[in-house]
Each structure stands twice: as structure tokens, then as C-alpha cells.
Amino acid sequence: MINPKQIFTWWHKQTFGTFLKTFFFGEFVGHDSHGNKYYKNKNDVRWVVYKDTIEASKITSDWFLWIHHTINEIPNNKKKKHLWQKQHLENQTGTLNSYKPNYISKLNNLKKKYDTWKN
């Protein structure tokens, strides 16, 4: 069922228009490990309905290739990954988990070699 917030705002999963498009013309193709659902229509137009908030970096690399028509086979979540492949993470910018290079953290930990003036 559609949430009333979704009727006018796109950042709550999908808009009412996307809901209607998915309901009438969408063929469910599959889902990824994050719970995002992927659809296509008879003209091979492909789209994703996100599990919660909309963030394009939540799409895993194999589904990214499929949704951009780079590959035609539907990605398989059961496909074995190589040992060197990391688990997919969405963009962490602006969160506590964001990437901080070692030299930045070292700069932040340096003590001042001077005292600031105080009034």
C-alpha cells in the first residue's frame, strides 16, 4: 500500500506516478541484498523502487550494470563473490562512517605549538 507522504514527495520510496507505472506496466525482475526491487516494462525500460530512502548509491554494482543496459542477464544474488571483493556500501559522505585519510586524522591529533591570545 502507498504511504500518503509518497503522493507528493519523491524521497519517500516512490511517487504516486511511479506507483501507478509499477502497478500497471511493471514486471518484477528481482531484488538485491538491500531489499531494493527492480522492474522493467515491455519496452525494456528499467527502474528501481528503493526499500527506504532514495539514494542512488544503494544500487549494487551488478544491478547498476543491468539498470543501465550494460548487461541483459538479470543479476543473481546467489552468485559467489571473490575473496577480494568487498560488501557493497552506500555513499557514506556526511556520516560518521565517511572516509577520512590517515593524514587528516593525524593533523587533527597534533597539539598546537603555540597559545592563542585570550582577551
d(CA 11, CA 26): 20
d(CA 6, CA 70): 30
- Who's near 11: CB < 8 A, 6+ residues apart? 53, 54
**pLDDT tens, 38-58?**
999 999 999 999 888 788 888
Q: Is residue 4 scored above 90 in pLDDT?
A: no
Give strand pairing partners of 12. 53
| Rg, C-alpha atoms of the chain | 21
Q: Is residue 11 scored above 60 in pLDDT?
A: no
Q: Is residue 105 scored above 80 in pLDDT?
A: no
Range with the poorest average pLDDT among 69-73, 83-87, 110-114: 110-114
pTM of the predicted model as reported, rounded to 2 decimal places = 0.69
| Phi then psi dihedrals of residue 8, to 5 deg | -115, -15
- Who's near 58: CB < 8 A, 6+ residues apart? 34, 36, 50, 51, 90
d(CA 98, CA 21): 36
Q: Please report, for the chain, the start and end positions of each structural domain, with discontinuous segments joined by +.
A: 4-80
pLDDT of residue 87: 81
pLDDT of residue 9: 59
